[in-house]
Amino acid sequence: MILYGFDRSPPVRACLMTLKALDISFEFKNVHVMNREHLTPEFLKMNPIHTVPVLEDGEHFITDSHVICTYLVQKYGSEKDQSLYPKDLIERTVVDQRLFFDLGVLFVRFKAVTAHIFTSNKTEIPKEKFDAIIESYDFLETFLDVNKFVAGKILTVADICCMASVTSMTFVPLDPCRHPKTISWFERMQYLPFYSVNRTGSKVLVDFIKQFI
């Protein structure tokens, strides 16, 4: 099995954490987006929409981190690991909702900042983009106000995907008065054994973004 990506990318780190949580061995092939390595004919054959991560498993190429993480649990997770993507329809639907929340809200608001940095010729990042990130923290806080994890009482791939995004957005700090439950979740997640593979890439990315703030 091969994972293509680079560790500054939040979705790639979500897959790295899931692979580690499941104790799966794999090969990591660096595809550096900043060097446009995702636009080569070979990469476009694997993923025509030219995003990382891509997972190669046998003859299959699987794209989108959320899909990759749920695929990995279902195909390679032990019986105990299945709780990361519960089989119960309602529990799974809540996990899916949070995965789509990461895909459509957290990651999009993160990407609005990086897109500005890369396309605006270094002009100031508009305040609305930071406000949108704070609002996405508010949404997370409502999920975590009723449950210890983002999709319920137990850890799931939704926590892993959301964590990869939130650690990439810490150039906008969580507010202890406004987001106490999110801060507590954030701290707890960092103690989990698989978290180590998220650390370096997220720090390099956040330090890079901070230069523009």
Q: Give residues in contact with ligand GSH (CB under 6 A).
A: 9-11, 33, 38, 50-53, 64-66, 103
Q: How far is the CB of 155 from ligand GSH (least distance, A)?
A: 19
Using the minimum distance from each CB to ligand GSH, give the nearer residue, 52 or 160: 52
Question: What amino acid positions are annotated as catalytic residues?
Answer: 9
Using the minimum distance from each CB to ligand GSH, give the nearer residue, 179 or 209: 209
Buried b (16+ CB within 10 A) or exposed e, 132-155: bbbebbeebbebbeeeebbbbeeb
198 neighbors 16 (Cβ within 8 angstroms): yes
- Tell me which amino acid residue 22 is: L
Report helix angle 89-101 to 157-168, nearest 10: 10
Using the minimum distance from each CB to ligand GSH, give the nearer residue, 70 or 179: 70
Q: How far is the CB of 98 from ligand GSH (least distance, A)?
A: 13
Q: How far is the CB of 85 from ligand GSH (least distance, A)?
A: 15
Using the minimum distance from each CB to ligand GSH, give the nearer residue, 168 or 182: 168
**End-to-end Cα separation, the chain, in angstroms:** 39
Q: How far is the CB of 10 from ligand GSH (least distance, A)?
A: 6
